[in-house]
Amino acid sequence: MTCLLSRPHTRRSDVHARQGSSAADCETVGVKRRVLRAALTLLLLSVVAVNAYAFVYAYGMTHVRGGERTATEYAAQWLGIPSSRPVSGKSPAQPYEERTITSADGTGLSAWLLSAPEPRGTVVLVHGFLGTRANLLDEAEALRTMGWSALLVALRGTETSGGCTVSLGLHEAEDVEAAARSVQGGPVVVYGESMGAAASLHAVATLHTPARALILEAPFARLSEAVHAHFHNKGRLDLTDLVLFWGGIQQGDDPASFNPEDEAPAVRVPVLTFVGGNDRTIPPATVRRLAARLPICTLEDIPGLGHCGTRAFAPDRWKRAVAALLERATP
């Protein structure tokens, strides 16, 4: 008996269905690949765009140019347009001497010397970021009435001093050191505000600046915190890390490592620190944290005070605190 084996019969419609399913699957895979490729391209372009923005923002923050300061000065910063070179709007009302000081890298610095009769010493006054000597003129004239000469220095990139860059305190510390060493005779006290305060601390802690005491108004504890506060106050995307990275590439240094609070324990002279309870530029908690790391520090916490300007806001308290510190700095 013969057994006939036959193949299962495949209907043509089933074949067409499977072919259609395979084509649909291929089309789905193709769509997914295109979507993934587009997403990766968009991600890459976003990374490039954010880094480009951070690069030009860092350039705008750390470079200065000639010309008059305009109302749109800071608004144009995000385009990488440098700020105009700060120019002092006034000069001392009392007789003073124009001086030129040379920083360690050869940068020429302009300075005003307001001499006191029979001075007990000299206070070097250091302004903040894109500030001028005029910012501390009132303090200088008050110090002179207290028997101390005042040397107001224009940091690099400001007024008639040399340089076209601002390093947010790192290289400005060399300016502070040069100014302090230029003083002849008597003890030297360094008085800095904001970035100038951080630069002054850095100068004393790491450059062995010959200061008998320090007066700091609103110093930042870590540069990254100050830049973060800047973005927060402007209501802009916080690109602190990228701005510091690209700023370091442009300047040839490492601004992210500029942390005065880490250097504070090396400061072995008396320090007077002012902090404003309403300071939005340098968060008060960070100033208090820095002060706690200074071995010999008197902290004056001023309720209601904004960023710097202690003497104008609380003149009696400022005078008492400063007089007490200067007494400690007098041999």
How many Cα neighbours within 13 Å face the side chain of 60?
Answer: 16
Q: What is the pLDDT of residue 323?
A: 98
Q: What is the CATH number of the domain that holds 272?
A: 3.40.50.1820
- Phi, psi dihedrals of residue 273, rounded to the nearest 5°: -120, 130
Residue pLDDT, tens place only, 230-284: 989 888 889 999 999 999 999 888 888 899 999 999 999 999 999 999 999 999 9
Alpha helices in the chain (DSSP H): 12-62, 137-145, 172-182, 195-206, 223-234, 240-251, 260-263, 284-292, 310-313, 315-329
Residue 296 lies in a domain: yes
Residue 253 lies in a domain: no
Q: What is the pLDDT of residue 84?
A: 81
Q: Which domain holds residue 168?
A: 86-222+258-329
The pairing of strands 108-114 and 149-153 is antiparallel
Residue 248 lies in a domain: no
- Average pLDDT of the chain, as a whole number: 88
Measure Cα distances from 189 to 140, 213, 263, 330 in Å: 12, 5, 18, 10
Q: What is the pLDDT of residue 32?
A: 79
Q: What is the pLDDT of residue 14?
A: 56
pTM > 0.75: yes or no: yes
Distance CA 254, CA 88 (A): 30
Residue 274 lies in a domain: yes
Q: Return the amino acid letter for 46.
A: S
Residue 278 lies in a domain: yes
Mean pLDDT of 148-157: 97
pLDDT band at 10 (very low <50, low <70, confident <90, very high): very low
Residue 36 lies in a domain: no
Q: How many domains does the chain have?
A: 1
Q: What is the pLDDT of residue 264?
A: 98
Q: What is the pLDDT of residue 236?
A: 80
Q: What percent of the chain has pLDDT over 90?
A: 68
Distance CA 94, CA 92 (A): 5
How many Cα neighbours within 13 Å face the side chain of 213?
Answer: 25
**Residue 225 φ/ψ region, left for φ over 0, alpha for ψ in the -120 to 50 degree band, beta for the rest:** alpha
For the cut 70, the answer to whether the pLDDT of residue 16 exceeds it is no
Distance CA 264, CA 153 (A): 23
**How big is the chain, counted in residues?**
331
The tokens of 165 are what?
């860059």
Q: What is the pLDDT of residue 85?
A: 85
